[in-house]
């Protein structure tokens, strides 16, 4: 079974050439993010991912996290790996120096995070949730809460969780019924149960800091009556030491299709006297604060889609190089050859490779825009970049994770029957990938957010801005010679036109017939993902050709052009069909009476 090898060369290319790392490094506070430093970070992260995390992935899946008497024991090696992870400073990479962080840009953290997720999906979920909890506390918590909790979480000594879902609520957070009763000392007592809590209990860190949604006695109904509370697993004494166990316990963990080494906890708060909690920010603004954490998590989950595309591709490619079967097609009586020589296997591998590169490019570009949205000295540029980030987060989350599932499935197909055998590792990628399309909001939820909050509410203005940028790339493609660029340009121009048509239809239809618009929401999200990925691949091909024209003979650049041509022919060519599903598919979705299903 092959181990993961971080695609550092492509990561460097995307960071520097597409995401504009040089411009990010000029933002206030990021001046030390020099190319040499970032290259060193990537190389060291690659070593950790390849040598420490990847070897734990398959055995961790086989052993799984184990629950007993309200405690969880992680698979062999995970606790030691986490300690080394935290001691090496990886938990602090993108956090502010004020809290012990290294202050590196989000776009660099995205590249490093992709490595963790490719190497060991289950392990990567623990720092992902902690990072979101840190961000929510830093932006919304009181100075006292930040002083008590943030530095310990940044250092990795404590980890964090996000507690939203309840057995009766699911994705409907208006139905949350966990209650918070105020106490004379300013704290609250929390009573309720939360489900699907990633790393809600484990033995890798000294303490676990739960961020919990609950209602106070005077809260109004619906989402406007939700508050956010910090509920530590172990109480924190005045001197910072750890005290008694809070009335917050893991009463079970789920038995899941995949990510077996990531404990998904059922958490009981207040089975005895009530779990002690502390209000974050203002009462009844909890959902607003939690969305800070949720949006960070949605981007991180989108990276899981990128990561599984890459990992499944690598495993399938290595197997195809080694697996000898059949003679080369069209050759009679010749020797048997590796299956990578067979045209259909090459088609599958190119699908995997091109989708991995396209999802990576889009995710990193969005991460760089986030850096500019937070740090750019010009307010209008901050607003401009934030609008782009807001539009694209559902796409990074939804399209990338759906890509991860389909690419992992193709990986099983490349292996043939051996892909269905656990020992090859191909099946684990498919099992692990499935959850990424679901948590932090299913693909349908992401799509509804995209067409409603991110498009209809603003009349599609940000989408039109993005389409304008795409047409600028189209104009540059028109100036290139050769069959590859002619094909790329033809497919890309058609795809952008299809996106513009579908976007205009959705914006015009949303207010008049929201059900018809919603019927096309997921096809539109996929359309935007496909075309935005093609936009970045087209930019990459143009840059690669410029390098070649300047005399650079690195085969990486020629391969980038070929991969972009494949993406244009086999992925961008889907755009017209997706657009048709958006604009003409609602009637078929809505016509059948419920009793006929």
Does the annotation mark 440 as catalytic?
yes
Annotate 112-156 with three-state secondary structure: HHHHHHHHCHHHHHHHHHHHHHHHHHHHHCCHHHHHHHHHHHHCC
303, 119 Cβ separation under 8 angstroms: no
585 CB burial (10 A radius; 0-12, 13-18, 19+): middle
Q: In angstroms, how far is the first alpha carbon of the chain from the final one? A: 44
Token pair 């070929």: residue: 562
From the DSSP assignment, how many helices (H) and strands (E) are in the chain? 20, 14
Pairing status of strand 71-73 against strand 242-245: unpaired
Catalytic residue among 135, 283, 357, 440: 440
* 52 φ/ψ angles, rounded to the nearest 5 degrees: -105, -50
480 CB burial (10 A radius; 0-12, 13-18, 19+): middle
Q: By C-alpha distance, which of 459, 352, 462 is closest to 404?
A: 352
Three-state secondary-structure class, residue 158: strand
Three-state secondary-structure class, residue 78: helix
**Token output for 555:** 């085969």
CB atoms within 10 A of CB 193: 18
Q: Where are the beta strands (DSSP E) in 166-239?
A: 179-182, 188-198, 207-214, 227-232, 234-236
Radius of gyration of the chain (CA): 24
458 CB burial (10 A radius; 0-12, 13-18, 19+): middle
**Token output for 267:** 């958490």
244 CB burial (10 A radius; 0-12, 13-18, 19+): exposed
> Which conformational region is residue 284 in: left (phi greater than 0), alpha (psi within -120 to 50 degrees), or beta?
left
Token pair 């789920």: residue: 254
The b/e string for 250-287 (b: 16+ C-beta within 10 A; e otherwise) is beebbebebbbbbbbbbbbbbeeebbbbbbbbebbbbb
Q: By C-alpha distance, which of 182, 165, 185 is closest to 174?
A: 165
**Separation of alpha carbons 228 and 541, rounded Å:** 46
Residue numbers annotated as active site: 440
């Amino acid at each position: 079974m092959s181990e993961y090898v971080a695609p550092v060369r492509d990561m460097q290319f995307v960071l520097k050439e597409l995401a504009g790392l040089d411009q990010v490094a000029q933002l206030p506070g990021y001046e030390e993010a020099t190319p040499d430093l970032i290259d060193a970070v990537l190389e060291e992260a690659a070593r950790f991912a390849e040598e420490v995390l990847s070897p734990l992935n398959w055995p961790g899946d086989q052993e799984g996290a184990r629950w007993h008497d309200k405690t969880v024991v992680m698979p062999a090696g995970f606790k030691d790996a986490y300690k080394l992870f935290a001691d090496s400073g990886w938990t602090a990479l993108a956090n502010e120096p004020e809290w012990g962080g290294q202050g590196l840009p989000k776009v660099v953290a995205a590249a490093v995070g992709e490595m963790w997720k490719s190497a060991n999906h289950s392990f990567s979920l623990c720092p992902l949730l902690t990072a979101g909890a840190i961000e929510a506390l830093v932006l919304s918590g009181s100075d006292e809460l930040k002083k008590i909790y943030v530095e310990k979480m940044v250092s990795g000594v404590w980890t964090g969780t996000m507690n939203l879902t309840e057995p009766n609520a699911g994705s409907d957070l208006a139905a949350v019924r966990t209650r918070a009763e105020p106490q004379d000392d300013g704290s609250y007592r929390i009573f309720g149960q939360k489900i699907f809590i990633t790393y809600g209990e484990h033995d890798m860190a000294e303490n676990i800091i739960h961020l919990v949604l609950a209602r106070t006695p005077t809260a109004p109904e619906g989402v406007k009556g939700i508050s956010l509370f910090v509920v530590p697993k172990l109480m924190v004494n005045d001197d910072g030491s750890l005290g008694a166990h809070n009335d917050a316990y893991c009463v079970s963990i789920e038995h899941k299709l995949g990510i077996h080494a990531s404990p998904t906890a059922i958490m009981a708060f207040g089975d005895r006297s009530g779990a002690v909690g502390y209000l974050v920010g203002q009462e009844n603004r909890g959902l607003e604060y939690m969305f800070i954490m949720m949006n960070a998590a949605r981007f991180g989950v989108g990276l899981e889609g990128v990561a599984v595309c890459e990992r499944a591709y690598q495993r399938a490619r290595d197997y195809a190089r080694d697996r000898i079967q059949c003679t080369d097609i069209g050759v009679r009586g010749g020797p048997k050859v590796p299956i990578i020589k067979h045209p259909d296997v090459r088609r599958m591998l190119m699908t995997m490779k091109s989708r991995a590169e396209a999802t990576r490019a889009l995710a990193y570009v969005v991460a760089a825009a986030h850096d500019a949205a937070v740090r750019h000295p010009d307010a209008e540029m901050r607003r401009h970049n934030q609008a782009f980030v807001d539009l694209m987060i559902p796409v990074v989350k939804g399209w990338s994770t759906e890509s991860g599932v389909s690419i992992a499935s193709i990986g099983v197909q490349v292996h043939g029957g051996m892909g269905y055998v656990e020992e090859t590792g191909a099946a684990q990628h498919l099992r692990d990938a499935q959850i990424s399309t679901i948590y932090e909001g299913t693909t349908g939820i992401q799509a509804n957010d995209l067409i409603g909050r991110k498009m209809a509410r603003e009349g599609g203005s940000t989408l039109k801005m993005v389409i304008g940028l795409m047409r600028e790339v189209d104009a540059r493609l028109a100036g290139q010679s050769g069959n590859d660029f002619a094909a790329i340009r033809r497919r890309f121009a058609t795809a952008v036109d299809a996106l513009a048509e579908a976007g205009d239809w959705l914006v015009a239809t949303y207010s008049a017939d929201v059900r018809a618009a919603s019927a096309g929401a997921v096809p539109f999200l996929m359309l935007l993902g496909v075309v935005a990925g093609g936009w970045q691949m087209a930019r990459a091909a143009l840059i690669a050709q410029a390098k070649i024209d300047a005399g650079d003979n690195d085969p990486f650049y020629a391969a980038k052009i070929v991969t972009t041509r494949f993406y244009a022919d086999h992925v961008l060519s889907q755009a017209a069909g997706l657009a048709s599903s958006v604009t003409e598919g609602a009637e078929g979705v809505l016509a059948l009476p419920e009793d006929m299903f």
